[in-house]
Structure formats: structure tokens, C-alpha cells
Chains A and B, each alone.
Chain A
Amino acid sequence: GAVVSQHPSRVICKSGTSVKIECRSLDFQATTMFWYRQFPKQSLMLMATSNEGSKATYEQGVEKDKFLINHASLTLSTLTVTSAHPEDSSFYICSANPAGGLTYEQYFGPGTRLTVT
């Protein structure tokens, strides 16, 4: 149980275009989902926390107009990278906190590799 999927696993896009990444909890409902960014050989940096039905909370330094997060249902959150630039190329990982679960309980997706050319 507690499986989180991400789609796509890899995406290549041209500079200036937008890319949407989906994060789904497959066998549980998630009131809270988290989006992380990871550069090569570095740790995960929390970008934002999204709660179902409300606006996402962004970490300091993360542009909310550039990284649009929508958590429209208890099993789906999306991250849209708008007007992507090469410096947005990174590994994006989501995690989900089960509804009624402990606050520290997070299940991670397999990640999405974004390359902006």
C-alpha cells in the first residue's frame, strides 16, 4: 500500500513552454502533498506544500507564479512549470501525507526528470 505515482517520469521541453507534472496517491487519500526539487548530487529542497482544496504554501525563494500547484482532489496534485528555462531543469519529486495519518508520514513518488532545452 501507500503508493505514489508521478507522470511523466521524464520530460524534455523547449525554453518558454510550460510543463505539467502530476502526482497521484494510488491507494490512499492525501490531504497534503509536498513538492521537492533536487539538483544532481544534492539533497531535496522543499518547494511547496499543497493542501486539498486550498492554495499551496510556497517556501521562501520559490516563485509561486512560476511553479503553479493545484491540489484539486484527495488523490491528485499537479505542478506546472510555466515559461520554463534551462535553469528549471531538475528532478522534481512529490510526496503525499495520508488523510488522518501522522504529520511526518510521507510517501514519495518516483520523481520526474525535467530537461529544458
Chain B
Amino acid sequence: DIQMTQSPSTLSASVGDRVTITCRASQSISSWLAWYQQKPGKAPKVLIYKASSLESGVPSRFSGSGSGTEFTLTISSLQPDDFATYYCQQYNTYPYSFGQGTKLEIK
């Protein structure tokens, strides 16, 4: 099974900051990686698919990069609505797996 590891687990930042979250896979997953945003009490929302493709309707301040085993999600200029928990998910093979999450907090 493929293990997904995110870092950091918690990130404190301010509005306007540029932030980067990293996701590492235990084996190569090519570019079959998605990023989700989740707010308390809500369902996750997909932001990025195939490592770097922006889902329709998602603001362009979100971007993804990477391939193989190392991936990043970058938010270029944090907005108040961006404070949430972020998850990566590999869909290269079954069983699908998620990272443990990165909680983005207001500094």
C-alpha cells in the first residue's frame, strides 16, 4: 500500500503570505495526486488534480507541482477564506490513500 506523508502538520501564517505544503508518497505515483481543502463540519473540496491541474472554479492563487514521490501545494497570497485543513490523495493505485492533513492557522 502507498503511504502519503504531509508536512508540516500545522502551519501558522498571515493573510498575504505565500505558503507551501509538501506531500510525499512512499512509492512513485506518477502525477496521480489530488489536493483537497476542508473546513470544519464541511465536506472536502478538490483544489488540484493530476498534481498540477486547477479544478474549475478554484482561485488561481492555488497551484500544485511535483511528480513521482514529492508534491507541493502552494497558495501564493493567503486570503482569510483559505484557513482550513488541506489533504493530499493518491489515486495511482488501490487502495487510495490520503495524507494526514495540514492545518493552516492564522498567525
Asked if A and B bind, the verdict is no
